[in-house]
Structures are given as structure tokens and as C-alpha cells.
Structure 1
Amino acid sequence: MNETATADDWVRELDARQRAMLAEMGVKVWTPAPARVPLAEPAAAAPAPVQPPARPPQAREPAARAPIVPTTPATAAPVSIAPPAPARADIAQLDWPALRDAVAGCRACSLCESRRNTVFGVGHTEADWMIVGEAPGEQEDRQGQPFVGPAGQLLDAMLRACGRDRQADDARGVFIANVLKCRPPANRNPAPEEVMQCEPFLSRQVALVKPRLIIAMGRFAVQSLLKTTEPIGRLRGRVHRYEGVPVIVTYHPAYLLRTPVDKAKAWADLCLAMDLERAG
């Protein structure tokens, strides 16, 4: 390369083989931009022709409007609508099949969104004894029956000690139900509005069974039936009334499993129930 050559000239002299070698060594070869060719100057613009004076605007005839054609709405596909749930007041008129269907289809509170099964109740529908618990737990929600699992086994043992059996279809039978028909998530305590929505179902069950005695097990069963906030310890040992039916208050079997020392108190409550039955 002569002394007067520029870097651009040197780069232009590289052949393809040299460029490839430099690329293998990681040397990036800058390629100069091609020399710019000066653009020719634009020719002088010709003078604009003189426009004749514009004509005064003339009034245009209004364009005829197209007639409005009413759009025919698309015919929607028929939607299957479930029959509405019976009103709270109507529940008091339902028979057993209709009451069971009403419970199964109830969506009066948010518990319907998380339940697997409603827990209607089991037992003899004309039993002398009716057991009322609080709310379904996980096992009850799975099986759709009240008092299953360890708490249910303890309840069955308590009933057998009194000569009762949830499977019996005679004078030894009982009807077992809960205040709530759906399980609260994570077995939390029932909310007041949830209890309020379920109370008509329980009231109708009591009216259909016509029990001679109700045993309320647990705080929420007692509060719902007796409309009181008194603790169970202060309500035990006495006979209360629910819609004219005698009520005996005792502890929930799940509580007794956690607090075995109170099983003796629960047995005393059952003895009170048997004494009341014998007294007629």
C-alpha cells in the first residue's frame, strides 16, 4: 500500500480469503460505505397555472337516506334454568322428598361453592329421639352423612349405652341431623348468616320427625335451637324446649375425644334424657 493510500483503500484491497482469515481470528473488518454520488439539483419548478375564480357554492340536494331496516335479533340457544329454590317460608310445607331436594339444591350461602355433598340427615323419620349436631366435617362432606369417623363412632357407642341405634327402624331408632347441611371450609366455626339460612331446614325436619326428645350436641347446635349464647356448662342438667319439644344439652362427641374427662358429664346428660323419657 503506498503512502498516500487511505485505510478505506486498504480495506477495499482485501480479497475474500483475507477477510475470512481475519474473521477466524475475531477481527471485525469495517467496510466503508460506498462513495456518495451528489444528487442533481432539482429543476426549477414551473410557475403554477393561474386558476380561474371558484364558482360560488351551490346548494346541494340532500342525499336520500336509506330506509332503516330493523335488525332481527339472533335466536339464542335455549338455556336450561334450574328451578328456583323454595322460599324460606315455603320450606315449612315440604314433605321428606321435597325437603331433601331443597337441601341438595340449596345455594343460599357461600358454603354451596366448596361442598362436595350436602349432609341431610339419617335415621328413623319417626324416631322418639332426635340428635342435633353442629356442622359436617371432612368425612361427613365426603360421605354425605352426619357423624361419621371417630366422632360418629363415639356417638354410636353413646347411643348403644342408651339402648338406641341409628340403624334401627323401630322404637330404638334415632334421627340424626346437623344445624348446617354443608361443611364450612377447613372445619371452621359456622358463621351466623350460614346458621340462619339453614335453620328452616332443621325446623322442618323436627316438625316431620315429631320427636319426643331432642339432644343438642355442641355449642352451635345449642345456640341455634335455644337462641342463647350461654355456655354449655351452664345449660346442662336442665330440660329446655324447642318448639314444644324437650331439649337436653350436652357436649359434642368431637369435643369429648379431645377432652375425655368430660365424658362422665356427657353420660350424666344421657341419663337425664332417659329419665325424662321414662317419666313420659
Structure 2
Amino acid sequence: MNRAEHTLILEELGLMPLWVRPELLDSPQEVVRHQPARAAAETAPTKPQRDAQAHAPLKPAEPARPLAPAARQRAAAQVNTAPEPIDAVAAAQQTAQAAERLAAIARMDWDQLQAAAASCTACELCKQRNKPVFGTGPREADWLVVGEAPGADEDRQGEPFVGQSGQLLDAMLASVGRTRQSNVYILNTVKCRPPQNRNPTPEEMAQCAPFLHRQLELVRPKVVLALGRFAAQTLLGQSANISGLRGQLHDYRGTPVVVSYHPAYLLRNLPEKAKSWQDLLLAQQATASQQAGGVPASAPLPQSEQGDAPPV
């Protein structure tokens, strides 16, 4: 066996380069090739050093460095956007309470209903109202007029359709021989005034709807006149605009409904009074048909019965 083969065997056995002096190797390249292993062996810790390291006390952990402002913002955003846990028990209780409230209102008589509306706190509108606007007129009227939400005058007086809008409505009703004192019951979609006369929200209308539905059941009118988009939406469950709903009869639980413009809109758009006059004639026709024994749903006003608008 020559020296090269001997060196190769020692290297394979892991005994190089400790047992071989560098000067015994065949070439300087072999010295260079084995220097990293020799350096690692020379720098490896001895057994006493390893024992000392094993029994040395642990260094305390360095405190975490504070997050940069941008990192804090990202972390806060992640926390804020985390979905809140759903309390199934609380949700079930709210559903049960809503059903109980709805059933209770459906059983009320006039006095109970008015007292419940006056003390209602189901939505935020109760916090700023002066007086709830329940309704006005004879409780056995054959016409029932539904407006939208009370304004400032209604909130002060507790009566629907006062001020300029109320004066125009009274003139319109008088043109077909009707008054709020004799044969028309008037109420609003919601009982309390929204702040700054804003539109009522869907939640507010939904909380007030049971009162409205019970009033219609108690009055049992021959025809309902829905004035404005929110009144039509509450009664018919449709979000179409007034121009698409007026001019035909709709149905509310077996009672014909005529949709027309709100008097406040007519005060700003005087030419539309002619269309409102046609809607009043359609309501008159529906009333006569009811008295005669029935009125077809979605019946348009015959051309022969349309007339010019009176000076209201």
C-alpha cells in the first residue's frame, strides 16, 4: 500500500488530519484541503469548557422592542376589523321579544294602542320627540290617509298634517266632499319626528309598522290613500317611485289603496296637482265600488271619469 492509498483510508475513517503531520502528505494541496477540518477541531470546546457552559446561568431575555408607528397602526386595524362573536342566545331572545311585542300590539284596542305608542321606546326617535303623532279623525271613517313622518308643526301639536301641508290636504279632501272631522282618518307612517325632518330609516319604519297595521285593522276603511313614497312602501312593500305606482288601485289585505303625491311635494311642484286630483277621483270610484259590493284590484280610473283639477 502506497502513502496515497493509506492517506485516503485514514480520511475515510475520519482520522485525518489529526494523525498525520502535514509534512508527510504528498502535496501542499492536501494540506490546504484538510485545513478547515483541522481548524474546526482546534477551535472546538474542550470537555471542561462544555461542562462550564452547561452550568452557566441563563441570560435574561432581551425586552421586546416597541413597534414602529406604522406597525402599530396595522396591528390596531387587524384588531378593529376582527368580527365580533355572535351571541346566539341574545339573538334568539331579541327575536322572541320582537314577536311578543308584535302579538301584543295586534291584540290592543284603541286606548291601549294609543298609550303604547305614546310610551314607545323601540327606536331612537323617541329621545327627541315632543309629542307622538298618533292620528286624528273619526275611528269609523271610510277613508284612511297615510302620510310619511311628522314635521316640526306636527311634533309640537301631536296631530298629523298641520301647517301648509295640512291646509293643502284639507283643501284636496274638501274638493271631493271629505274632511278629517267627518269621514277621513289621518295618520303617519312613523309616530315621532325624525331630527331635522330627515327621512325615516327602514329600522324606524319597521318599529312603527305594527301600530300602523293595527290602526288600519281597527278603522277598517273602504279605501286607503297613501301619500308619499314611504307610506306606499310601508303598505305595499314596494320601493318603486310614486309616478310608477299612482293611477291604479293596489291592495292592502283586501282594502284598495290609491297612491298619490305628498302635499309637501305638491307645494314645490304645483303642476302635479292635476295628477293628485285624478288620484282623488280614483279613490272616490273605489269607495263607490266598495259600497256596491267590491272593487277589482289594480283597476285604472276610466277616462270618462277623469276631470280637471279643482282650484285647491
For Structure 1 versus Structure 2, the TM-score category normalised by the shorter chain is 0.5 to 0.7
3-state SS, counterpart of residue 144 of structure 2: strand
Normalised by the size of structure 2, how large is the TM-score? 0.61
- In structure 2, what is the equivalent of residue 127 of structure 1? 141
Tell me if 1:221 matches 2:231.
Answer: yes
Equivalent residue for 1:268, pick from 246, 260, 278 = 278
Equivalent residue for 2:212, pick from 202, 212, 218 = 202
Q: Return the offset for 1:207.
A: 0.3
Tell me if 1:137 matches 2:151.
Answer: yes
Tell me if 1:175 matches 2:191.
Answer: no
3-state SS, counterpart of residue 159 of structure 2: coil
3-state SS, counterpart of residue 271 of structure 2: helix
Between Structure 1 and Structure 2, which shows a larger proportion of helix residues? 2
Q: Return the offset for 1:265.
A: 0.4
Of all paired residues, the percent bearing the same amino acid is 56
- In structure 1, what is the equivalent of residue 248 of structure 2? 238
- In structure 2, what is the equivalent of residue 155 of structure 1? 169
Mapped partners of 1:230, 1:254: distance in 2: 19
Mapped partners of 2:257, 2:194: distance in 1: 25
Q: Return the offset for 1:236.
A: 0.8
- In structure 2, what is the equivalent of residue 279 of structure 1? 289
Q: Return the offset for 1:275.
A: 1.4
Q: Return the offset for 1:229.
A: 0.8
User: Residues 83-98 of structure 1 correspond to what in structure 2 (within 5 A)?
Assistant: 87-98=101-112
User: Residues 63-82 of structure 1 correspond to what in structure 2 (within 5 A)?
Assistant: none
3-state SS, counterpart of residue 258 of structure 2: strand
3-state SS, counterpart of residue 87 of structure 1: helix
Mapped partners of 1:96, 1:276: distance in 2: 27
Q: Return the offset for 1:88.
A: 2.1
3-state SS, counterpart of residue 120 of structure 2: coil
- In structure 1, what is the equivalent of residue 37 of structure 2? none
- Deviation per CA, 1:35-64, whole angstroms, max 9, x where unpaired? xxxxxxxxxxxxxxxxxxxxxxxxxxxxxx
Greater mean alpha carbon deviation, residues 131-140 or residues 270-279: 270-279
Mapped partners of 2:232, 2:265: distance in 1: 14
For residue 236 of structure 2, what is the amino acid of its counterpart? Answer: L
Q: Return the offset for 1:154.
A: 0.2
Mapped partners of 2:191, 2:226: distance in 1: 16
What 5-or-longer segments of structure 1 have no aligned partner?
A: 1-83
Q: Return the offset for 1:244.
A: 1.3
- In structure 2, what is the equivalent of residue 114 of structure 1? 128
- Deviation per CA, 1:172-206, whole angstroms, max 9, x where unpaired? x1100101000000000010000000000000000
CA RMSD of the aligned region, Å?
Answer: 1.3
Q: Return the offset for 1:89.
A: 1.8
Q: Return the offset for 1:238.
A: 0.8
Normalised by the size of structure 1, how large is the TM-score? 0.68
Greater mean alpha carbon deviation, residues 212-221 or residues 237-246: 237-246
Tell me if 1:250 matches 2:239.
Answer: no
Mapped partners of 1:200, 1:244: distance in 2: 18
3-state SS, counterpart of residue 280 of structure 2: helix
Tell me if 1:104 matches 2:118.
Answer: yes
Mapped partners of 1:254, 1:110: distance in 2: 25
Tell me if 1:187 matches 2:197.
Answer: yes
Mapped partners of 1:275, 1:245: distance in 2: 13
3-state SS, counterpart of residue 131 of structure 1: strand
Mapped partners of 1:201, 1:103: distance in 2: 7
Mapped partners of 1:89, 1:184: distance in 2: 26
- In structure 2, what is the equivalent of residue 76 of structure 1? none
Q: Return the offset for 1:276.
A: 1.5
